[in-house]
Amino acid sequence: MAKTTRKVPALNASSMADISFLLLTFFLLVSNMDVDSGLARRLPPPPQTEEQTTVDVQRRNLLVVLVNSQNETMVTNQQGTEWYTNAEELRGTGSKVALKDRVKEFVLNTSNSEQLPELTEEDFGPPIGIVPVTDQHVVSIQNDATTSYKTYIAVQNEVVRAYNELREEGARKYFNTSYDELTEDQQNQINDLYPQRISEAEPKNYGGQ
């Protein structure tokens, strides 16, 4: 045969679509899209020795949130005690002060009250500058052995909401935008200003089983 320039015939690629559709359906079936979401927490490291290491906290710096076996919530600090019997009251729909507002008042201590955590001046860098903050405050969430997980999460959620609202207010005040639109450094600045100081203590069996 004479040496001529032979053309390579085009491959029949019509089945390519079928093959790739097959792959696509396979991946659609075996994969899941849902992103897991939740309330992030940090646990304290385990006690190093047999004797429990306890940190002494002044009474005024402590806000105790106790969820009992009847799923009622008691919030107590030096200012007084408040009872919430259900989730609606926690959110402040009743006549009671919402839990988040109590937490916010506790963390801010705008009135420099003796009953609320002590204020110390700290430098947070521009544009926040030197502001008084309650850097020693602790929100201690305690629960009973038979508390339901649902109520516990609801209480946790309200406390986190208080911090989130404080951060949002801080962002509006110092950076004039919402917290989500800040850069990472600015967000860290705000987080340093209002750190989440939530302690999860071991439960106490108050009411019995």
Partner 1 sequence: MISIRSVYPRQNPKTTEDNNMGKFNKGGKKEMPALNSSSMPDIVFAILFFFMVTTTMRSETLMVRMKLPTASEVQKLEKKSLVTYINIGPPMETRLGTGTQMQLNDRFAQVSEIQDYIAQEKASMNEADQPLMTVSIKADEETRMQYITDVKQALRQAYALKISYSARQGQNK
Measured from the CB atom, the residue of 87 and 119 that comes closer to partner 1 is 87
Nearest distance in Å: CB 33, partner 1: 6
Least CB distance to partner 1 at residue 15 (A): 9
Q: What is the DSSP string of 70-126?
A: TS-EEEEETTEEEEE-SHHHHTT-SSSPPHHHHHHHHHH-TT--TTSPPPEEEE--T
User: How big is the site for partner 1, counted in residues (CB under 8 A)?
Assistant: 52
Q: Which two tokens stand for residue 121?
A: 């001046």
By CB under 8 A, residue 204 contacts partner 1: no
Q: How far apart are CA 87 and CA 80, in angstroms?
A: 20
Distances (CA, A) of 175 to 48, 127, 128, 168, 193: 42, 8, 9, 10, 13
Least CB distance to partner 1 at residue 161 (A): 5
Query: Does residue number 186 form part of the binding site for partner 1 (CB under 8 A)?
Result: no
Report the residue from 42, 52, 56, 80 that binds partner 1 according to the rule CB under 8 A.
42
Residues 106 and 124: beta-carbon distance below 8 Å: no
End-to-end CA distance of the chain: give it in Å, rounded: 97
CB burial class (10 A; 0-12, 13-18, 19+) of residue 60?
buried
Among 76, 79, 113, 146, binds partner 1 (CB under 8 A): 146
Q: How far apart are the C-alpha atoms of 107 and 118, rounded to whole Å? A: 10
132 contributes a contact to partner 1 by CB under 8 A: no
Site string for partner 1, 50-89 (x = CB under 8 A): -----------------x-------------------x--
User: Which residues bind to partner 1, rule: CB under 8 A?
Assistant: 1, 6, 9, 13-14, 16-17, 19-21, 23-24, 27-28, 30-33, 35-46, 67, 87, 91, 143-150, 152-154, 156-157, 160-161, 164, 200, 202-203
